[in-house]
């Protein structure tokens, strides 16, 4: 039954999409019904634990344009209930309708929200998928790496990059009867097993598998400060008294690091007026993204020292704006050349740090800087 349903979608969806244009309750389409009713029922016959799994098929949001790549997904309720975030098992139909893919995949929207630019979001999706593969047992017959959906829109392009493991079913093979319902059930079961395995080993958020690099972080900060995708007004800088919860750590194979919120850093740059807080006259250059003097975000108490503090170091009061030269000096310069700069920054931020329950004296701070500090610390 399910292989027949796949054929009905692959051979009829494009014509129905061209006919109806938008999602509406008045649409009458065999292909649409297969996506929202028949195929979800087939998936439910395999993902039988309704308390654990949610199954949904979609060809677009009501009153919006009909999707180019419709889907049917199995969501672990503990991870996500939506295709926009988390990770899940999903059947994706290619835009060309030449094939469909059963994939253990990720929600692109969450990456887009965090990384702002499509190119960076796509890269992090792919990096995370590659890292996730290392945490699951080999899946017989599965394809690892990007999948091909002939996608013209960024949402479906995100699915292409976000695939962890997948099985492809071409229209030609389905029409020839080369793919049975038994095979489809077996493939779904394989991906469900990998899905549960990832959940056990990695938790709800796969983003933790791939820490953001320093260049990626500064790029995020610059874009948010420029207003590209930002939703934080310049005056909403959290300097209210009270310590904040320690941020989560990544669990990447290359080592664990505390996560940093680029929005907080962008606020800190705005607060500094995009000037170096060691010397506001230090020359830099005009940022292409912000149109302002280019500065970089730096955690005065390094994030690598978070384990020594009960409250979060990733707060605006601990983030200073520095010109590139001063930033590099604090990370890689000789300690004697850093001393006066550190004293100046600490004196300027003592009140802010204390308000966030971050108590530190110069002797303690100086110990953190006696050796080179990793840039993403």
Q: Could you report the per-residue pLDDT of 13-56, keeping only the tens digit for each?
A: 999 998 888 887 777 889 999 999 999 999 999 999 999 999 99
What's the pLDDT at 317?
95
- 172 and 285 assigned to the same domain: no
Q: Are residues 131 and 218 in the same domain?
A: no
For 241, counting Cβ atoms within 10 Å of its Cβ (0-12 exposed, 13-18 middle, 19+ buried), the class is exposed
Do residues 193 and 275 share a domain? no
Which of 183, 206, 229 is the C-terminal boundary of a domain? 206
What residue numbers bound the domain in which 254 lies? 211-368
175 occurs within a structural domain:
yes
Q: Tell me, yes or no, whether 375 lies in a domain.
A: no
Domain presence at residue 377: no
Percentage of residues in the chain having pLDDT higher than 90: 75
Structural domain contains residue 373: no
* Residues 197 and 307 grouped into a single domain: no
What integer pLDDT is reported at residue 238 of this predicted model?
60
Q: Tell me which of 206, 229, 254 is where a domain ends.
A: 206
Asked if 17 and 152 sit in the same domain, the reply is: yes
Q: 4, 12 in Cβ contact below 8 A?
A: no
Question: Which residue's structure tokens are 């975000």?
Answer: 297
| 155 and 270 within one domain | no
Question: Are residues 273 and 136 located together in one domain of the fold?
Answer: no
Nearest to 157 by CA among 113, 203, 109, 195: 109
Q: Answer yes or no: are the C-beta atoms of 219 and 115 closer than 8 Å.
A: no
Q: In the prediction, which pLDDT does 166 show?
A: 98
Domain end: 206, 223, 248, which one? Answer: 206
Structural domain includes residue 324: yes
Report how many domains make up the chain.
2
In a shared domain, residues 185 and 235: no
Same domain, 124 and 217: no
| pLDDT value of position 232 | 45
Q: Are residues 197 and 83 in the same domain?
A: yes
Please give the pLDDT value at position 234. 46
Low-confidence ranges of the chain (pLDDT < 50): 228-235, 377
The pLDDT value given to residue 231: 42
Based on its alpha-carbon atoms, the radius of gyration of the chain, rounded to whole angstroms, reads 25
Model pTM score: 0.79
Same domain, 223 and 191: no
pLDDT value at position 310? 96
Give the pLDDT score at 255: 59
């Amino acid at each position: 039954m399910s292989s027949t349903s796949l054929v009905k979608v692959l051979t009829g969806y494009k014509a129905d999409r061209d006919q109806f244009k938008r999602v509406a309750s008045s649409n009458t389409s065999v292909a649409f019904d297969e996506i929202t009713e028949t195929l979800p029922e087939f998936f439910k016959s395999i993902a039988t634990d309704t308390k654990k799994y949610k199954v949904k098929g979609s060809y677009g949001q009501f009153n919006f344009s009909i999707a180019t790549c419709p889907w049917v997904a199995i969501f672990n309720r503990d991870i996500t209930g939506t295709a926009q975030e988390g990770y899940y098992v999903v059947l994706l139909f290619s835009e060309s309708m030449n094939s469909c893919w059963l994939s253990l995949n990720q929600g692109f929207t969450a990456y887009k929200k965090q990384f702002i630019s499509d190119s960076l979001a796509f890269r992090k999706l792919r990096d995370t998928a590659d890292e996730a593969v290392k945490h699951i047992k080999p899946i017989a017959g599965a394809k690892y790496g990007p999948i091909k959906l002939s996608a013209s829109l960024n949402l479906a392009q995100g699915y292409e990059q976000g695939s962890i493991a997948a099985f492809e079913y071409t229209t030609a093979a389905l029409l020839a009867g080369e793919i049975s319902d038994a095979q489809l059930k077996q493939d779904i079961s394989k991906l469900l097993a990998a899905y549960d395995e990832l959940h056990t080993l990695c938790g709800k958020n796969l983003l933790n598998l791939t820490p953001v690099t320093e260049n990626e972080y500064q790029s995020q900060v610059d874009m948010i400060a420029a207003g590209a995708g930002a939703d934080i007004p310049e005056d909403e800088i959290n300097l209210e008294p009270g310590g904040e919860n320690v941020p989560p750590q990544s669990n990447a194979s290359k080592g664990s690091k505390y996560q940093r919120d680029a929005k907080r850093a962008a606020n800190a740059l705005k607060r500094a007026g995009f000037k170096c807080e060691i010397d506001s006259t230090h020359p830099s250059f005009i940022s292409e993204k912000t149109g302002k003097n280019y500065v970089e975000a730096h955690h005065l108490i390094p994030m690598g020292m978070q384990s020594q503090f009960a409250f979060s170091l990733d707060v605006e009061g601990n983030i200073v704006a520095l010109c590139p030269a001063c930033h590099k000096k604090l990370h890689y310069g000789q300690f004697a050349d850093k001393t006066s700069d550190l004293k100046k920054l600490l004196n300027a931020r003592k009140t802010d740090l204390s308000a966030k329950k971050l108590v530190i004296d110069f002797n303690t701070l100086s110990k953190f800087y006696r050796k080179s500090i990793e840039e993403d610390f």
